[in-house]
Amino acid sequence: MSFWEEFISYILRGWIATLEILAISIPLSILLGLSLAVARVYGNWFISMIAGGFVALLRGLPLVVTLLIVFFALPKLGIYFSPFWAAVTAFIMCSGAYQSEYVRGAIRSIDVGQSLAAQALGMNRLQEVIHIILPQAFRRALPGITNEIIYLILYSSLAYLVGIQELFAVAKHFNSLQLRPIEIFSTTALIYAFMATIATLFFRKLEEKLKIPGLETA
């Protein structure tokens, strides 16, 4: 088997593992970010404090530290994760915490008249948030959320620290066997760049789809 044939077979296995991590982490981190933002803005003082403390804690820790805490420290408290779910959990928590700030800012930027209009139509607070506030806030926060998703794609390479044979781990291992870092890591970098580009194009299309005629700035 030639170098490239063997390398492609290796790298595909790692790429699939990376995609599995991202397929779970990306949508759940967005959902967590929306939930934390709503809890901070509309929750009572206790819920808002808990959500705010969670966000402050996760934003104050490097992702690699969070990952190692989830995998190595939590078992000391009786909470166990497999390597895959430890990585997914850490990525969701960290990315969701950052995304919540974009959504919270977007919610705060919505004119109070929107809320008053919803109340005038007889909506309760839950209906107002779900049908009036969140759609507008998500639209405004989408560029920031997109940025965090790109970071999440790139930071997924840290999963190798807990033993997951994802893209970077496979490339690193294969290089230790073949000692051809230029070909191996250049190809790996191109794959990460490809994933980031696809995500950027997807969210750009989503932004265009969610645009409301007459509300965009030139």
What is the pLDDT at residue 172?
92
List, in order of start, the domains of the chain with CATH numbers: 3-210 (1.10.3720.10)
pLDDT at position 123: 85
Structure tokens at 36: 């934390």
Q: What is the pTM of this model?
A: 0.91
Distance CA 160, CA 169 (A): 5
Q: Residue 218's pLDDT is what?
A: 43
Contact between 153 and 143 (Cβ < 8 Å):
no
Confidence at residue 50, expressed as pLDDT on a 0 to 100 scale? 95
For tokens 């989503």, what's the residue? 206
Residue 184: CB atoms within 10 Å: 23
Write out the chain's pLDDT in tens, 218 residues.
688 888 888 899 999 999 999 999 999 999 999 999 999 999 889 999 999 999 999 999 999 999 999 999 999 999 999 999 999 999 999 999 999 999 999 998 888 887 888 888 888 888 888 888 888 889 899 999 999 999 999 999 999 999 999 999 999 998 988 888 899 999 999 999 999 999 999 999 998 888 776 555 54
Distance from C-alpha of 156 to C-alpha of 192, rounded to nearest angstrom: 10
pLDDT at 2: 81
Calpha distance 64→164 (Å, rounded): 14
- Predicted local confidence at residue 178, as pLDDT: 82
Q: What are phi and psi of 179, to 5 degrees?
A: 55, 50
pLDDT recorded at residue 113? 80
Give residue-wise pLDDT tens across range 91-118: 999 999 999 999 999 998 888 887 888 8
